[in-house]
Structure 1
Amino acid sequence: MAHGGKVVCVTGASGYIASWIVKLLLLRGYNVNATIRDPNDRKKTDHLLALDGAKERLKLFKADLLEEGSFQHAIDGCDTVFHTASPVMITVSTDPQVELIDPAVKGTINVLRTCTKVSSVKRVIVTSSMAAVLAPKTKLGPNDVVDETFFTDPSIAEGKKQWYILSKTLAEDAAWQFAKANQIDLIVLNPGLVIGPILHPTLNFSVAVIVELMKGKNPFNTRHHRFVDVRDVALAHVKALETPSANGRYIIDGPVVTIKEIEKVLREFFPDLCIADRNEDITEMNSVTYKVCLEKVKSLGITELTPTETSLRDTVLSLKEKCLV
């Protein structure tokens, strides 16, 4: 399935989801310009350079979210840009504005502004998050059906000092405003908590949640979780490029699973595992029993999501293989 040497750009290419997007794009015959903050950091590049097709069709570029115009070289000549670069951390050491919000918001605008200057760019696909969906003005109840029309209210995230949620919400909002003002064909993907095998050599935030669960801890103090597989999320990104009629936002998230169900799968690997089952008052970000409408992402051809059991198993196998547990 060769794509006639079409050139696409992936920002933040060494990240968890981005690495999978690069892998799929190379497998489908695209030429990929990948941006990395430090292309000389072998930890960030070795796994990308080892991908099938990388020798022939992958080029690495140095770029920094906060450096105006630093994406120009990577985006020049590209047909589509995937903007996945954004910091992911839940706790901020000193300054949320500097550590999370500026790189997320200014970085997004920096990339989009460059796209307006490069005439070859037809479409921009931005990786947002369910974090930008799940804290609307009215608290979500178990009968609510969440779809693409739900937006997090930034003042709620700010009031609760949920800085990561705020950064994703403000960055997505800024992207939509800029895209409308500049006639950019923008598509946004909003995945939930992403798990599944890792290609990069270090632990990222969402997979670290599984490591905590493997240790018997319950990082979100909740009985219910939702996970979505990184391979499904990456495929949704690629389908958003390959589907001419794709538009707007796409939510992609898995079904509700209980701590007991997670424990059962993880017990195969850790027979004496017992995950703390706390039944404290759960905050609304943790009350995940609302329903999620996936009709829109199915229209991209993502008909079957990977079962959570499979994702959990593959995550553990991948962590063991990379000696991360």
Structure 2
Amino acid sequence: MGDDDKGAVCVTGATGYIASWLIMKLLQHGYNVHATVRSHHFKEKKDLDYLISLPEAAKKLKLFYANLDDSTSFHKAIQGCIGVFHLAHPMDIQNQESEERVTKRTLEGTKGILKACLESKTVKKVVYTSSATTVLFNGKNDLDMVDEDVWSDIEICRSINLVGSSYSVSKILTEKSILEFGKVNGFEVVSLILPLVVGPFICPTIPSSVYISLAMIFGMYFNLSPFTLYTL
């Protein structure tokens, strides 16, 4: 390993909005990146041009096929890494799949990732990108701040159905399982609570969070419910 080589890190869900920016920044800071993508992206190589063409990508970026449906598919990408950023998560806004199925796939896939991290003997830290939906909808409107003890109420998330109940519920349960894994195994895990992320993007399609933000803006402009507009 050269003096300017900081080691390898794995980024799951590499084609996403946040993940693509993260990969770019990691490459800029001298890390080798093992990025996981789903199988259909390998079949359509043009979908990955925006990652492959990033500065330093030719030397430091490796793409791996992995899917949350196969809990063992992340093992190869994690081997030899010093850290893992876990961003892969189903985004089923229109509830085309049952909440039970989405949650099961997410939990089992994440469990496989954590197991691979533990078995690698090289991974020192796992960073999980969670969501503000895991803390916002708790039925307590008088809170000045929220901390690690505050969680959204699953039944409230189901009733609001803001971005698809399967997304909110699976995010809550996945984050709890990751934090519990860290405690039980003495393994360092960090959970980041992200708000609605907006701004420039390098992926080829409009990210869902940007789309939702635009729906909110134009919904208010036309005196419509922003979330009604979003579902039109």
Structure 2: how far apart are the matches of 1:155 and 1:117?
A: 36
Equivalent residue for 2:45?
A: 42
Q: Which has the larger radius of gyration?
A: 1
Equivalent residue for 1:209?
A: 212
TM-score after normalising by structure 2: 0.86
Please state if 1:125 is matched with 2:127.
yes
Structure 2: how far apart are the matches of 1:82 and 1:172?
A: 13
Task: Give the superposition deviation at 1:36.
Answer: 0.4
Q: Residues 49-128 of structure 1 correspond to what in structure 2 (within 5 A)?
A: 49-98=52-101, 100-128=102-130
Percent identity at matched positions? 36
TM-score after normalising by structure 1: 0.62
Task: Give the superposition deviation at 1:212.
Answer: 2.4
Gaps of 5+ in 1: 219-273, 283-325
Equivalent residue for 1:244?
A: none
Code of the residue aligned with 2:74 in structure 1: it is: F
Greater helix share, 1 or 2?
A: 2
Equivalent residue for 1:198?
A: 201
Structure 2: how far apart are the matches of 1:276 and 1:5?
A: 51
Question: Structure 1, residues 165-186: CA drift from partner, whole Å, max 9, x if none?
Answer: 1111011011112222222210
Equivalent residue for 1:271?
A: none
Q: 1:149 to 1:176 in 2, by over 3 A?
A: same
Gaps of 5+ in 2: 228-232
Indicate conservation of the 8 Å contact 1:3/1:28, yes or no.
Answer: no
Task: Give the superposition deviation at 1:160.
Answer: 5.0
Indicate conservation of the 8 Å contact 2:71/2:108, yes or no.
Answer: no
Equivalent residue for 1:187?
A: 190
Question: Structure 1, residues 234-260: CA drift from partner, whole Å, max 9, x if none?
Answer: xxxxxxxxxxxxxxxxxxxxxxxxxxx
Code of the residue aligned with 1:16 in structure 2: it is: Y
Structure 2: how far apart are the matches of 1:206 and 1:43?
A: 23
Question: Structure 1, residues 102-143: CA drift from partner, whole Å, max 9, x if none?
Answer: 23222221211111110011110111111111122x4223x6
Please state if 1:144 is matched with 2:144.
yes
Question: Structure 1, residues 28-47: CA drift from partner, whole Å, max 9, x if none?
Answer: 01000000012333354111
Q: What number of residue pairs does the alignment pair up?
A: 220
Structure 2: how far apart are the matches of 1:95 and 1:213?
A: 26
Structure 1: how far apart are the matches of 2:79 and 2:62?
A: 12
Could you tell which deviates more after superposition, 17-26 or 152-161? 152-161
Q: Residues 1-325 of structure 1 correspond to what in structure 2 (within 5 A)?
A: 3-38=4-39, 39-98=42-101, 100-136=102-138, 138-141=139-142, 144-158=144-158, 160=160, 162-213=165-216, 216-218=218-220, 274-276=221-223
